[in-house]
Amino acid sequence: MTIFCHIVETKGGQELETDALTDLRPFRIDVAQSEVDDLRERLRKTRWPDELPGAGWEYGIPLSLVRDLVTYWADGYDWRENEARLNDFPQYTTILDGQNVHFLHVRSREPNAIPLLLTHGWPGSVVEFMKIIGRLVDPGAHGDDPSDAFHVVAPSIPGFGFSGPTKEKGWDVKRIAAAFAQLMQRLGYDRYGAQGGDWGSAISRQLGLSAPEHVIGLHLNTLATPSSGDPEDMKLLTEKEKGYIEAANRFRQQGSGYFMIQGSRPQTLSYGLTDSPAGLLAWIAEKFHEWSDQPIDRDQMLTNISVYWFTRTANSSARLYFEFGRSGSSWGKVETSMVPTGVAVFPREIAPPIRRFAERSNNIVHWSEFDRGGHFAAMERPDALVGDVRAFFRRLG
């Protein structure tokens, strides 16, 4: 599929035809067999660290768990089978702001389907959405109302997965949101919704700030809601909300080391993660275990990790944390958004949002709280997430 815009740019006074820059090129995942064989060989030759007796999770992800996952990744997991499942989704690449960007684009047969931009986070990828895309695009096939259908666009964030490493500095949340706005225009979608968690939440929210005339609504399953620190505010908190504050404090004290490292020394970290698949697995799998309370499909998690490995994007994906801080951004500095916003709160989210704080800087029109689930909602609670997305956009109808 190709769109011809016939835009003319100049470089050194010479006109350049830029049709190629607006092409949407069909893409198919086809990892070389030599890469698959190399991965298995490296896994089988893993050099293991020691572990203190009875350490459990206190010092990090346990050795026994990583050993089991490495053994299965090397000798039980089938990349080709999961590669084929990913290739069931129509996907493309295009150039946005000078960067190659990969995306899934799955159109519904329903004539009134709503275009929906799905954005993943770290340590995720488009693999996160494998269980929800079919439900979103073709609800009738799953026994649901066909009128709830969406056209799904799911990009790989620049620097992540098949979008490949970024080639220059400055790919922060604002630049990514601007690129995704350009992508939706290129696909012919003038009005659309956006959904995301983790970085996908920040990017979706920024899209609403920078292009509100194009965004119908935002559905988020992660949302930073910093407290004002006012003692009077704290008196209003329910016991559940106090628990959310405590969870956020525990995360800052005990669980945010990865954020600080990736935000300050991504290059130094990258040597180990790019050379050792066991190291990459431990770095990512720890988050899937700590940030969820529902069993994560082991093959889906390993497919996600395999995408990082085969595309060599551990470094460039980590750079988003560096760029976030370098741009002057902060989770505590939240610009007010007027775009209608729906929030799905899952209790094992890193820092579950608090509505009274969220309403200060967001136009909250829909709020759902679930009794199970965590950070990776599309993988843990796909039915619940899809149902909430439908309910939110139905409300905007």
pLDDT tens digit at each of 397 positions of the chain: 333 232 223 233 333 334 566 799 999 999 999 999 999 999 999 999 999 999 999 999 999 999 999 999 999 999 999 999 999 999 999 999 999 999 999 999 999 999 999 999 999 999 999 999 999 999 999 999 999 999 999 999 999 999 999 999 999 999 999 999 999 999 999 999 999 999 999 999 999 999 999 999 999 999 999 877 788 888 889 999 999 999 999 999 999 999 999 999 999 999 999 999 999 999 999 999 999 998 999 999 999 999 999 999 999 999 999 999 988 766 656 789 999 999 999 999 999 999 999 999 999 999 999 999 999 999 999 999 999 999 999 999 7
Report yes or no: 136 and 394 within 8 Å, Cβ to Cβ. Answer: no
Active-site annotation, residues: 198, 321, 375
Tell the residue number behind the tokens 């050795």, with chain if given: 63
93, β-bridge pairs: 25, 102
pTM: 0.93
- Residue 352 identity: P
DSSP helix/strand/coil, 204: helix
CA 329, CA 323: separation in Å to the nearest integer? 9
CA-CA distances (angstroms) from residue 324 to 98, 157, 179? 20, 14, 16
CA 30, CA 63: separation in Å to the nearest integer? 32
Tell the residue number behind the tokens 């949002």, with chain if given: 353
CA-CA distances (angstroms) from residue 189 to 135, 153, 181, 184? 21, 10, 9, 5
Domain boundaries, the chain: 8-396
Query: What is the structure's pLDDT at 369?
Result: 97
Among the listed residues 19, 24, 49, 91, the one whose alpha carbon sits nearest the alpha carbon of residue 276: 49
Query: What is the structure's pLDDT at 332?
Result: 58
Which fold, 8-396? Answer: Rossmann fold (3.40.50)
